[in-house]
Structure 1
Amino acid sequence: MAQADIAALLALLAALFIAVGDVIHQRTAHEVTDEPVGHLALFLRLLKDRTWWLGSGIAAGGFVFQAAALGFGSVLLVQALLVTSLLFALPIHARLEHRRVTRWEWVWAVLLASSVAVIVTVGNPTEGSSRASLETWAGVACVLGPILALCLWGARRWSGPAAAVSMGIVSGALWGVFAVLTKGVVHRLDVTSLAGVLELARTPEVYAWVIVAVLGTSTQQAAFRAGALTASLPTMTVVEPMVGCILGVVVLGETLNPGETGWVTLVVAVIVMVVATAALARGEASSHDPTTV
């Protein structure tokens, strides 16, 4: 089996585990308290909840599969396939809520996943390097930081689906950064010897990796708390691979090779991703009261 095929299989397994973890996290974020709480207070309360830890354990299994997939394939390939987690999460969430996934939810979700399949197949992504310089990451922070700060500001001013989408953008972006950092960590991972462990401890990506994971988790819970799953999860599901893929190209030097005519198809696929995400969030806003989910 080719390395790209192994990476694709591991990425799909990661999508399944992450979807289950996300559904559990979303329910727990709403059930942990009826009081209005800030992001930090919510996160601290969730740390005391056993159900939340169950979801975290399952999601951690997904991250292990994701890391393994990144060891075999490019960030572009792995992150794009993680969008399929939405197809797992929607029916699981609907079952727990004792309702059916609507026809239009399925239509938009399938369009979302199909657009990703097009990007993977037509884009023909290839691997680049595993790590980037500190100067490159500093440039990423200068560009991405203000954007995320603006989204956080918007989430504080808005409520319901708009806040869920804003926080979903922040969380998705952080998990996209996390994926690129994971590529560097996996490249340096060698726990079979003391020298390997010490080398890993001297790798800057490890510490940034932990910090980004904590921030991504806390903002993810805030997004789940702000609205229902179909408002927050599609946003995170799309933003994470988009940020991860952009950073894969800009930071790691990965490439897309769609051919002369394939670029038009890629642009259309990206537009479909954005429209499907917006449709899922808008449908949720019109059919649910997020404070009661």
Structure 2
Amino acid sequence: MTLLAVALALVAAVLFAAASVAQHHVAAADTGEPLVRRLARSPLWWVGTFGDSAGFAVQAAALGVGSLLLVQPLLVTTLLFALPLGARWAGRRVTRLEWVRAPVLVASLAVFVVVGEPGGGVDRAPARDWLPTGTVLAAVVAGCVAVALLRRGTARALSLGVAAGVAFGVAAALVKGVVNLIGDGPLTLLTSAETWVLVVAVAGGTAAQQWSYSAGDLSASLPAVTVGEPLVAAVIGLLVLGETIRADGPEWVLIGVTVVAMVVATVSLARSSARPAATPVGPGPDDRGR
């Protein structure tokens, strides 16, 4: 089951990477048109949305057979696939430093999975177990929305990125329970509170993410989303769903170092992915056919 969860998580990462590159290109382009209208009229944005939906479906399958602590960290490999795609789209080269950061991320993930052996836990938890963690996360999202409404530029983009990361992390945790409900029939699925909270979390996260793309520098919002989702999902896995990391003594030190390295590499790669064109490498997608 672990190998299947890993394989599915990596497939989801590829789909998310392709979708992210497409949506960044559309949402970040300032044409003077209202954001919602611009997105709705863009075929490329709808292609990206389809890729996101497919990625979410595969992610749900991965969470159906694996733990949050295993699947969610693996999804940061989205950056490894998005980096060359985004660089090609933006008309720039992937730098040597970026190629160095990529193996650091891969090695950190491998050590975390092998040494920590994340697993265990339950698919669903009662509302009383969700209440303390859920209250804190709701307060974080509310604070981020307040900042986004009051500020502009980098502060708005960062706050929206954090809100999106929190929403997607909550959604990932809820997916485990909703997948478990599918076997009980459509009536149970549609009348479960978890299903509708999941819908709200996905819709809210998507709206915040799209808003963040046009609110300011992408290098502010993208790292927040990319790091926030697995971090929030891991916290929920540990505090709400009872998942575990199997480690003793010095292994905790090693895991701590790998988590720090993972976060640093993720933030660095996310900022690189958001960097605008620097070195032309040939005609970009917008130049074809002209």
Is there any run of 5+ residues in structure 1 with no aligned partner, and where? none
Q: Tell me how many residue pairs correspond in the alignment.
A: 278
1:16 aligns with 2:14: yes
Letter in 1 for 2:182: L
Q: CA deviation at 1:102?
A: 2.1
Using the alignment, how far apart are the partners of 1:112 and 1:247 within structure 2? 23
**What's the % identity of the aligned pairs?**
44
1:259 aligns with 2:248: yes
Counterpart of 2:285 in structure 1 is none
Using the alignment, how far apart are the partners of 1:72 and 1:22 within structure 2? 25
CA spacing shift, 1:218–1:227, aligned 2, 3 Å: same
Letter in 1 for 2:44: T
TM-score with structure 2 setting the length: 0.86
Counterpart of 2:55 in structure 1 is 62
Using the alignment, how far apart are the partners of 2:87 and 2:135 within structure 1? 40
SS at 1:70's partner residue?
helix
- What is the correspondence of 1:123-202 to structure 2 with a 5 Å cutoff? 123-156=116-149, 158-190=151-183, 196-202=185-191
Is there any run of 5+ residues in structure 2 with no aligned partner, and where? 279-290
SS at 2:51's partner residue?
helix
Q: Is contact 1:165–1:235 with CA below 8 Å preserved after alignment?
A: yes
Counterpart of 2:81 in structure 1 is 88
Counterpart of 2:282 in structure 1 is none
SS at 1:99's partner residue?
coil
TM-score with structure 1 setting the length: 0.85
Counterpart of 1:239 in structure 2 is 228
Counterpart of 1:33 in structure 2 is 31
SS at 1:242's partner residue?
helix
Deviations 1:170-201 (A, max 9, x none): 111111100010000101113xxxx7111211
CA spacing shift, 1:161–1:111, aligned 2, 3 Å: farther
Q: Is contact 1:235–1:277 with CA below 8 Å preserved after alignment?
A: no
Q: Is contact 2:30–2:214 with CA below 8 Å preserved after alignment?
A: no
Range 131-140 or range 107-116, more displaced: 107-116
SS at 1:267's partner residue?
helix
Using the alignment, how far apart are the partners of 1:21 and 1:284 within structure 2? 13
- Structure 1 runs (4+) deviating above 6 angstroms are 281-289
Q: CA deviation at 1:203?
A: 1.6
CA spacing shift, 1:196–1:58, aligned 2, 3 Å: same
CA spacing shift, 1:62–1:34, aligned 2, 3 Å: same
Q: CA deviation at 1:43?
A: 4.0
Letter in 2 for 1:217: T
Q: CA deviation at 1:91?
A: 0.8
Deviations 1:140-161 (A, max 9, x none): 2311122223333344455544
Using the alignment, how far apart are the partners of 2:162 and 2:64 within structure 1? 26
Using the alignment, how far apart are the partners of 1:88 and 1:229 within structure 2? 17
SS at 1:111's partner residue?
helix
CA spacing shift, 1:10–1:284, aligned 2, 3 Å: closer
Using the alignment, how far apart are the partners of 1:285 and 1:31 within structure 2? 13
Query: Paired residue for 1:76, among 65, 69, 78?
Result: 69
Q: Is contact 1:18–1:85 with CA below 8 Å preserved after alignment?
A: yes
Q: CA deviation at 1:280?
A: 4.9
Letter in 2 for 1:27: H
CA spacing shift, 1:21–1:172, aligned 2, 3 Å: same
SS at 1:33's partner residue?
coil
SS at 1:189's partner residue?
helix
Q: Is contact 1:86–1:234 with CA below 8 Å preserved after alignment?
A: no
Letter in 2 for 1:15: A
Q: Is contact 1:169–1:235 with CA below 8 Å preserved after alignment?
A: yes
SS at 2:249's partner residue?
coil
CA spacing shift, 1:44–1:203, aligned 2, 3 Å: farther
SS at 2:91's partner residue?
coil
Using the alignment, how far apart are the partners of 1:209 and 1:203 within structure 2? 10
Q: CA deviation at 1:228?
A: 5.0
